[in-house]
Amino acid sequence: MLILAIDTALDACSAAVLDTSAGNTIALESQPMQRGHAEALMPLIARVMKQSGVAFAALDRIAVTTGPGSFTGLRVGLSAARGIALAADKPAVGLTTLAAYAAPIVAENGARPILSAIDARHDHVYFQVVGGDGSPLVKPKVAPIAEALDAAQFGALHLVGNAAKILAERWPAEATPPVQVDPQAAPDINWVAWVGAAVTPENAPARPFYLRAPDAKPPKDQLQTSAQLSGT
């Protein structure tokens, strides 16, 4: 199976082509960035596809991260994935950034539970907890950091994600300390591809995975206009 993987959900713009029959990623590029995903993504994908030697029509599916993450970044990645999937007549599949963060640790078949965490700002995080085998312990949610720290009840956890260091610094003194802390700015695009190859398209739609509404609000005059149009 040939998979084109795309990630623009957080502080990176990444794409990779995975050949599952060969068991490795045959082309990859990842650029750290906080802004500018929209301008960078399509040229980056073009370079990765050229490096891979694979035609878009030869792909079996396109995998993309669906969030949580930057609302703007998510739209960029999802739009690209859907557009390529439509043009190539291939399925597009989605996976959460939290799952992508946990995937390489689950693959190690370790016994420790894993807490994936993303900075949601305002003293909140997006997080989930899974067992070492990937079984769900705490479903994905957005919550105050204090609530995320309740995961200490599961013992010595492996913390991963761009909020891993934030949680580690505030870990309860009386709790068992984390066994490892991986403060990654974005998921490994290799694992976005591998998880994308493993999921069932019907159960993994390429659509945004929002745990809260965008922070941005329409301008006041726009709200007034909308109210007038609706007659309220």
Q: What is the pLDDT along the chain (232 residues), one digit of tens a residue?
A: 999 999 999 999 999 999 999 999 999 999 999 999 999 999 999 999 999 999 999 999 999 999 999 999 999 999 999 999 999 999 999 999 999 999 999 999 888 999 999 999 999 999 999 999 999 999 999 999 999 999 999 999 999 999 999 999 999 999 999 999 999 999 999 999 999 999 999 999 999 999 976 554 444 444 343 333 334 3
User: What does pTM read for this prediction?
Assistant: 0.90
Contact 8, 76 (CB under 8 A): yes
Query: Bridge partners of 128?
Result: 116
Q: Around Cβ 91, how many Cβ atoms within 10 Å?
A: 17
